[in-house]
């Protein structure tokens, strides 16, 4: 039995049902948005302090790559487990537990002082962080219908651009003012406080709140005449039992979900290569100071906000809830942007900012469609957590590889080669998604 799958209330008035639905949808949107954004406070601080760890504790690029890879392997494995658990215990509990765990592990990391004791808590942090995406996707899916998810989730997915943007600013400021340890202590306390608020105030599901299924609500408010938009009273509903074997079968036998996962390997390689290494690239290749590199890197996330909104809206309005076309187009353009990036960034600070913004715009658009909207669409509501976890877990193989590969390639062949490596990967991803051009869940 899950907190997302049973009802405890009887019938309620039609007007009351509609009003409560609106309020709880707004509440769910806001709380899950902040929940996922806040995870970056305890994830995106490490890239900012890498140079400080090299200077103060003698870590090498290769050791930092091992820490990244350990985290990302745990994150990938955790996605599969979290997706399964989320469909059993519900997204609300999964997210709350993950927030508390990542906060505690950041306190431990900040108190550490050697390679091994940096590595171990950060690996465990990968498991804790892996609860966020499947849990939020599960919670979101039961409150928003398929035909509105491209637009609504496009807005919601700005959480994982705003999250890195705010976390990078905060970590950079704390690093400069108080030292690298406080870039872990302060975010940990903020996340722990929000976790308690989330567990106390987040609604579980329409069913548990005594409301009609979300597809019924959406039809009522979009297709009926103004005078007929009240929902009929909701009769008492018997608790439903999740069939996790059925959910697993839905995911593992779905060709679209496998295609999404394999494409996401490419996108997560590129995204995490930039997330984990862009500040250090600007320090080592362009001669930036640590503060300037940290602040400049947030341009990627700021531009990504617009990429997410544009991609989600286009997939709904132009391609009629078909997700693949917008992914194919943006990934092809991303390949061109990656090819040009080393040349543009070397021309000066303004050109570097433009190049980073272009990469962010074209990267986060398809990333959000694949990992969020499309994964939930094809997983259906009952397997939304498992589908989101599966796609993100398969994709995290690419993220895990980025830690080691970028460290080795940058050291042996130079930083330009890292960006040129992105080009064939993005083209491969575009070709994979092209096989789903006309597919609609």
Distance (Å, rounded) from C-alpha 175 to C-alpha 177?
A: 6
Q: Which residue in this structure is represented by tokens 């009240």?
A: 230
User: Dmax over Cα atoms in the chain, in whole Å?
Assistant: 70
In a domain, 126, yes or no: yes
CA-to-CA separations, 259 to 44, 147, 179, 218, 264, in angstroms, rounded = 28, 21, 44, 29, 8
Tell me which residue range forms the domain holding 150: 14-219+243-434
The whole-number mean pLDDT for each consecutive block of 10 residues of the chain, a chain of 441 residues, reads: 42 61 87 94 91 89 85 85 78 92 96 91 94 83 74 78 87 92 96 95 81 74 53 46 65 82 92 87 89 88 86 78 86 94 91 94 88 64 69 83 83 89 94 84 56
Residue 228: the pLDDT is 46
Residue 52: other Cβ atoms inside 10 A: 16
In a domain, 233, yes or no: no
Residue 4: the pLDDT is 46
Beta-carbon contacts of residue 251 (< 8 Å; ≥ 6 apart): 257, 379, 383, 386, 387, 390
Beta-carbon contacts of residue 53 (< 8 Å; ≥ 6 apart): 59, 64, 118, 180
Residue 124: the pLDDT is 96
Burial readout 325-351 (b: 16 or more C-beta within 10 A, e: otherwise):
bbbbbbbbbbbebbeebbebbeeeeee
Which CATH number belongs to the domain containing residue 160 in this structure?
A: 1.20.1250.20
400, two tokens: 């895990």
Residue 312: the pLDDT is 77
User: Residues 41, 166: contact at Cβ < 8 Å?
Assistant: yes
Residue 104: other Cβ atoms inside 10 A: 18
Distance (Å, rounded) from C-alpha 49 to C-alpha 60?
A: 13
In a domain, 33, yes or no: yes
In a domain, 228, yes or no: no
Residue 245: the pLDDT is 74
Beta-carbon contacts of residue 281 (< 8 Å; ≥ 6 apart): 410, 415, 418
In a domain, 238, yes or no: no
In a domain, 106, yes or no: yes
3-state helix/strand/coil string of 295-356? HHHHHHHHHHHHHHHHHHHHHHHCCCCCCHHHHHHHHHHHHHHHHHHHHHHCCCHHHHHHHH
3-state helix/strand/coil string of the chain? CCCCCCCCCCCCCHHHHHHHHHHHHHHHHHHHHHHHHHHHHHCCHHHHHHHHHHHHHCCCHHHHHHHHHHHHHHHHHHHHHHHHHHHHHCHHHHHHHHHHHHHHHHHHHHCCCCHHHHHHHHHHHHHHHCCHHHHHHHHHHCCCCHHHHHHHHHHHCCHHHHHHHHHHHHHHHHHHHHCCCHHHHHHHHHHHHHHHHHHHHCCCCCCCCCCCCHHHHHHHHHHCCHHHCCCCCCCCCCCCCCCHHHHHHHHHCCHHHHHHHHHHHHHHHHHHHHHHHHHHHHHHCCCCCHHHHHHHHHHHHHHHHHHHHHHHHHHHHCCCCCCHHHHHHHHHHHHHHHHHHHHHHCCCHHHHHHHHHHHHHHHHHHHHHHHHHHHHHHHCCCCHHHHHHHHHHHHHHHHHHHHHHHHHHHHHHCHHHHHHHHHHHHHHHHHHHHCCCCCCC
Burial readout 299-324 (b: 16 or more C-beta within 10 A, e: otherwise):
bbbbbbbbbbbbbbbbbbeebebbbb
Q: Which residue in this structure is represented by tokens 């399964």?
A: 84
In a domain, 234, yes or no: no
102, two tokens: 């990542």
Residue 307: the pLDDT is 87
Domain count of the fold of the chain: 1
In a domain, 277, yes or no: yes
């Amino acid at each position: 039995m899950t907190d997302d799958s049973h009802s405890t209330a009887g019938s309620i008035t039609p007007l009351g049902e509609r009003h409560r639905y609106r309020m709880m949808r707004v509440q769910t949107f806001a709380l899950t948005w902040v929940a996922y954004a806040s995870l970056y406070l305890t994830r995106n601080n490490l890239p900012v302090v890498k140079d400080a760890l090299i200077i103060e504790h003698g870590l090498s690029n290769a050791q930092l790559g091992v820490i990244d890879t350990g985290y990302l392997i745990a994150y990938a494995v955790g996605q599969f487990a979290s997706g399964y658990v989320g469909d059993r215990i519900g997204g609300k509990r999964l997210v709350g537990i993950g927030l508390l765990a990542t906060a505690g592990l950041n306190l431990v990391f900040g108190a550490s002082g050697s390679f091994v004791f940096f590595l171990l808590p950060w690996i465990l942090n990968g498991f804790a962080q892996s609860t966020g995406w499947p849990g939020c996707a599960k919670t979101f899916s039961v409150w928003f219908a398929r035909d509105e998810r491209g637009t609504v989730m496009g807005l919601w997915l700005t959480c994982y651009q705003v999250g890195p943007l705010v976390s990078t600013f905060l970590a950079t400021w704390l690093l400069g003012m108080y030292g690298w340890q406080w870039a872990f202590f302060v975010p940990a306390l903020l996340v722990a406080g929000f976790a308690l608020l989330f567990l106390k105030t987040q609604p579980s599901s329409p069913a548990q709140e005594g409301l009609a299924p979300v597809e019924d609500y959406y039809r009522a408010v979009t297709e009926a005449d103004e005078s007929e938009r009240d929902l009929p009273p909701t009769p008492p509903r018997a608790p439903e039992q999740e069939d996790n074997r059925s959910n697993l079968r839905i995911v593992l036998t779905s060709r679209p979900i496998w295609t999404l996962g394999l494409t996401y390997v490419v996108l997560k390689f590129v995204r995490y290569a930039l997330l984990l290494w862009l500040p250090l690239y600007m320090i080592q290749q362009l001669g930036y100071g640590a503060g300037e590199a940290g602040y400049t890197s947030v341009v990627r996330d700021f531009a990504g906000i617009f990429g997410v909104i544009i991609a989600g809206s286009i997939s709904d309005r132009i391609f009629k809830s078909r997700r693949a076309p917008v992914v194919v187009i943006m990934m092809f353009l991303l390949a061109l942007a990656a090819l040009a990036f080393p040349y543009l960034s070397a021309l000066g600070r303004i050109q570097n900012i433009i190049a980073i913004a272009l990469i962010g715009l074209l990267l986060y658009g398809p990333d959000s469609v694949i990992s969020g909207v499309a994964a939930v669409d094809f997983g259906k509501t009952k397997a939304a957590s498992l589908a989101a976890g599966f796609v993100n877990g398969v994709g995290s193989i690419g993220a895990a590889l980025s830690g080691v590969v970028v460290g080795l390639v940058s050291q042996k062949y130079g930083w330009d080669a890292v960006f040129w490596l992105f080009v064939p990967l993005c083209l491969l991803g575009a070709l994979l998604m092209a096989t789903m051009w006309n597919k609609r869940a």
